[in-house]
Amino acid sequence: MRKKFLSFAITSMLMSGCATVQYQSPPPLTTNHVTHEIAKSSLLSQTGHTLMHLNQSGDILYQQNFGGGGAGLGILLGPIGVMANIAAIESNTEGDVELLQDKLVFNASELFKKSLDKHQMKTFDGNSESIKLSPYIYVSKTEDEQLLFASALIVETQPGKKSNWLGKYMYQTSLKIAKSDIADGVNKEEYRLLKFEIEKGFDKLALLYFEDRKGNLKTEQALTFLSDFVSPRFNLEMVGDLIPSETGRVNIRTVGGVYSLPKDSVEVKFKN
């Protein structure tokens, strides 16, 4: 049975107007002396009715939550309604995955390693004390059967241990491609665009993570935001903190992750 990937869940805690929530903290300072190793987190194998793999190696994840009558209807109809909703969404996800399976021929670890080398950030294999960096590619479906793409990273200081610090970093690319255009096969131009944007995303993620470790991603302003990438279909107004961002980007620290989003794809309201 597939397990739900909790790291991706957008819970009611993210909505504005709720009780105080805890955002993803920077990596603990006690890990500063530790080396890094490229790994594959066990979290990447935890899928569910809204989240499945698009390749055999399991480092390209596909998320979609369309189908059924929505969460509200499921609740109104009770447990049977909830189960029916889940089954309908799962059927949609499986159908999409069948169309998209193995159409994206990218190796997330190789691309991320290339980014680390570019920035002269060394990794070491076989050290049990190393911080584990697990890169992956994330594909999310929005309305009108459009796909959004992100370079993503899971960071764990001590996987499997109670003292483990877990962090997630995501860089949404500027690409928005129709599902049908990927399903019918990625042509040379689409491959070139995808590769360029995903590589760029991993370049930026490497810098984002290491700046966070240095304590340089200080909160600039509290905010609420709407993003069809972070919360597709339901258009939830979520809470977070603005952190240092490049021109044209909005970097947000929120529950369960740090997101770098294209400025023109997110609606932000700053709190006084």
Instruction: Judge contact between 252 and 14, C-beta under 8 A.
Output: no
In a domain, 45, yes or no: yes
Least Cα distance to 212 among 244, 238, 186, 235 occurs for: 244
Question: Does any domain span residue 54?
Answer: yes
Is 76 a member of any domain? yes
CA–CA dist 249, 261 (Å, integer): 6
Residue range(s) defining the domain that contains residue 51:
29-214
Q: Domain count for the chain, please give it.
A: 1
Residue 230 forms part of a structural domain: no
38 found inside a domain: yes
CA distances from 66 to 12, 14, 69, 114, 181 (A): 18, 20, 9, 35, 19
How far is 7 from 113, CA to CA, in rounded Å?
A: 23
CB 224 within 8 A of CB 238: yes
Question: Structure pTM?
Answer: 0.88
Q: Is residue 28 predicted with pLDDT exceeding 90?
A: no
Q: Which residues contact 184 (CB under 8 A, 6 or more apart)?
A: none
Digit-coded pLDDT (tens) for 52-87:
999 999 999 999 988 765 555 444 444 555 566 788
On whether residue 16 sits in a domain, the answer given is no
CB 215 within 8 A of CB 199: no
Is 129 domain-assigned? yes
pLDDT tens digit sequence for 122-174: 898 878 889 999 999 999 999 889 999 999 999 999 898 998 999 999 999 99
Distance CA 212, CA 210 (A): 5
Residue 223 lies in a domain: no
